Amino acid sequence: MIKKRNRKRPQQEPLVDWHAIRRFALAGGSLLAISGAVIFLFLLLDRPVAAIQVDGPFARVNASQVEAEVLANLHGGFISLDLDGLSATIRRLPWVDQVRIRRQWPNSLHITLIEQRPAARWGETGLLNVRGELFIEDSRHVPAGLPALAGPPGTESEVVSRYLTARSYLQPHGLAVTGLVRDPRGAWDMTLSNGIAVRLGRYRVEQRIRRYSDLVLEIVSPDPGKVEYIDMRYSNGFAIGWRKQDEAAIAALNVRSG
């Protein structure tokens, strides 16, 4: 007699995992709730800017002009406002060098400005800052006492670098460089605080400046008022150009002596 075994039928997997769906729905609902709360909070805080405060030791910058520029470019609310873009806009104003903007709760902006510091004149009316950048091309007021630098457009950094080199050689001797010009051909002319013009030419310019400070300066220092210019464009020497009144005096002395 054969006994029949009872075999259990395998349980079929449910077609839909309702537990997983419910967990996903709960998680999604929580995420939506959090996102909604964040959006609501953002909209609540991103209120229109109601006050602008501009600070800084102003000599050339007009605070009212800065405020007007900010209001014209106030795209966004207290939170969404692009502070970097607004800073770049303000820096384009004349005489503005550095800008720092910070938010002040609940709806105001605090703007701190640093003005440009003119270090040299460029051409007739341009001004260079302490970094050698041409920050204004046509200034109505050029501060007195600035060295006069000039050169073709785009050579500002080169001229400033050459000026600093010349100053480092001559300053220890009590002389200042009051003018330095690079012409379109690349030739350099320098003017010193004792009134002497130094022609440096196009080649070995730094070597010629050093030779002037080491050799020529000692020769002309006793009476620089008689010298109009020094021509350093010689391989191993230099030439002295005397002022006209001194040439006339020398000629008269030679006539009386004869």
Domain residue limits, the chain: 51-115, 118-257
If pLDDT is split at 50, 70 and 90, which confidence band does 63 have? confident
107-117 average pLDDT score:
92
pLDDT single digits (tens) 25-49: 555 555 554 554 445 444 556 678 8
Q: If you average pLDDT over every residue of the chain, what do you get?
A: 82
pLDDT single digits (tens) 188-236: 999 999 999 999 999 999 999 999 999 999 989 888 889 999 999 998 8
- Looking at domain 51-115, does it have CATH number 3.30.70.240? no
Q: Whole-model pTM above 0.85?
A: no
**CB neighbour burial string for 9-37, b if at least 16 within 10 angstroms, e if fewer:** eeeeeeeeeeeeeeeeeeeeeeeeeeeee
Residue 122, helix vs strand vs coil = strand
Percent of the chain with pLDDT over 70: 77
* Cα angle value 217/220/222 (rounded, 5°): 110
- Looking at domain 118-257, does it have CATH number 3.40.50.11690? yes
| Least confident range of 45-59, 60-74, 161-175, 243-257 | 243-257
